[in-house]
Amino acid sequence: MKKFIFIPAFFCINISLYGAALDSTAEAVQKAPLNITAVVMFILFVLATLIITYFANKKTHSTEAFFTAGGGISGFQNGLAIAGDYMSAAAFLGLTALIFSYGFDSLIYPVGWTIAWPVILFLIAERFRNLGKFTFTDVIALRLEEKPIRIVAALSTLTIVILYLIAQMVGAGQLIQTLFGLPYSLAVVFVGILMMCYVIFGGMHATTWVQIIKASLLLGGTTLMALMILYMSNFDLKYYFDLAINNHPKGADIMKAGVFFKDPIATFSLGLAVTFGTAGLPHILMRFFTVKNASEARKSAFFATGFIAYFFLLMFVLGFGAIAFVLGDPQYVDEAGKFTGATNMVVIILAEVLGGNVLLAFISAVSFATILAVVSGLCISGAGAIAHDLYTQTFKSGKADGKTQMAVSKIATIILGVLSIVLGFVFENINVAFMVGLIFGIAGSVNFPIILLCIYWKGLTSRGVFLGGLLGLLAVVSFVFLSPSMWEKTFGLKNAIFPYDHPAIFSIPLTFFLLWFFSITDKSKRAQIDKEGYKAFDFRAKTGIGASEAVSH
Phi-psi region of 343 (alpha: psi -120 to 50; beta: other; left: phi over 0): alpha
Band (3; pLDDT cuts 50, 70, 90): very low
Confidence of residue 191 (pLDDT cuts 50, 70, 90): confident
Tell how far CA 162 is from the center of its chain.
12
What distance in Å separates the CA atoms of residue 387 and residue 518, rounded to the nearest whole number? 29
Segment among 17-21, 44-48, 216-220, 347-351 with least mean pLDDT: 17-21
Range with the largest mean pLDDT of 50-64, 194-208, 249-263, 523-537:
523-537
Confidence label for 2 from pLDDT (cuts 50, 70 and 90): very low
d(Cα 214, Cα 46) in Å, to the nearest integer? 10
Query: Does residue 12 surpass a pLDDT of 50?
Result: no
Any residues with CB less than 8 A from the CB of 374 and at least 6 apart, and which?
14, 85, 88, 164, 168
Distances (CA, A) of 389 to 141, 158, 283, 409, 548: 9, 11, 14, 11, 18
Domain boundaries of the chain, sorted by first residue: 3-53+73-153+204-371+432-543
Burial of 62 (0-12, 13-18, 19+ CB in 10 A): middle
Residue 266's pLDDT is 83
In angstroms, the CA 56 to CA 73 distance is 13
Residue 230's pLDDT band (cuts 50, 70, 90) = very high
CB neighbours (10 Å) of residue 484? 16
Local structure of 59: helix, strand or coil: coil
State yes or no: pLDDT of 28 exceeds 50.
Answer: no
Residue 335 has pLDDT above 80, yes or no: no
Q: Mean per-residue pLDDT for 136-152?
A: 87
pLDDT band at 16; cut points 50, 70, 90? very low
- How far apart are the two ends of the chain, measured CA to CA in Å? 39
Q: Distance between CA 19 and CA 14 in Å, rounded? A: 12
Beta-carbon contacts of residue 127 (< 8 Å; ≥ 6 apart): 139, 294, 455, 541, 542
Number of other residues whose CB lies within 10 A of the CB of residue 28:
7
Cα separation, 16 vs 168, whole angstroms? 9
Question: pLDDT digit string (tens) for 419-459?
Answer: 988 988 887 766 565 567 678 888 999 999 999 999 999 99
Q: Does the pLDDT at position 201 exceed 90?
A: no
- Give the CA distances from residue 86 to residues 82, 158, 210, 266, 447, in Å, rounded to whole numbers and listed in that order: 6, 18, 13, 24, 17
What is the rounded CA–CA span in Å between residue 256 and residue 234? 25
- Please classify residue 529 by burial: count the beta carbons closer than 10 Å to its beta carbon, then call 0-12 exposed, 13-18 middle and 19+ buried: middle
Angle at 418 between CA 174 and CA 141, to 5 degrees: 110
CATH of span 3-53+73-153+204-371+432-543: 1.20.1730
What is d(CA 54, CA 34) in angstroms, rounded to the nearest whole number? 30
How many Cα atoms occupy the beta-carbon half-sphere of 68 within 13 Å?
23
- Are residues 80 and 215 in contact, defined by beta-carbon separation less than 8 angstroms? yes
* Total length of the chain: 553
Question: Does residue 11 surpass a pLDDT of 50?
Answer: no
DSSP letters of 454-478?
Answer: HHH-TT--HHHHHHHHHHHHHHHHH
Cα 327 from Cα 453, distance rounded (Å): 49
> Shortest CA distance to 147 belongs to which of 466, 451, 399?
466
pLDDT tens digits, one per residue of 37-58: 777 887 887 788 788 888 877 7
Q: Is 333 helix (H, G, I), strand (E, B) or coil?
A: strand
Helices then strands (H, E): number in the chain?
A: 24, 0
494 — pLDDT class (breaks 50, 70, 90): confident
Residue 158 in contact with residue 390, Cβ under 8 Å? no
Rounded Cα–Cα distance for residues 4 and 7 (Å): 5
Task: Report how far apart, in Å, the C-alpha atoms of 527 and of each of 413, 463, 464, 465, 532 are.
Answer: 36, 8, 9, 11, 9
Three-point CA angle 220, 222, 225, nearest 5°: 110
Q: For residue 76, give every residue at least 6 positions away whose Cβ sits within 8 Å of its Cβ, in sequence order, or none.
A: 299, 303
Model confidence over 467-478: pLDDT tens digits? 999 999 899 989
Q: How far apart are CA 262 and CA 296, in angstroms?
A: 42
Distance CA 203, CA 197 (A): 9
pLDDT at 548: 52
Q: What is the residue-wise DSSP string for 391-454?
A: IIIIISTT---HHHHHHHHHHHHHHHHHHHHHHHHHTTTS-HHHHHHHHHHHIIIIIHHHHHHH
Gap between the Cα atoms of 412 and 285, Å rounded:
20
Averaged pLDDT, 380-389: 86
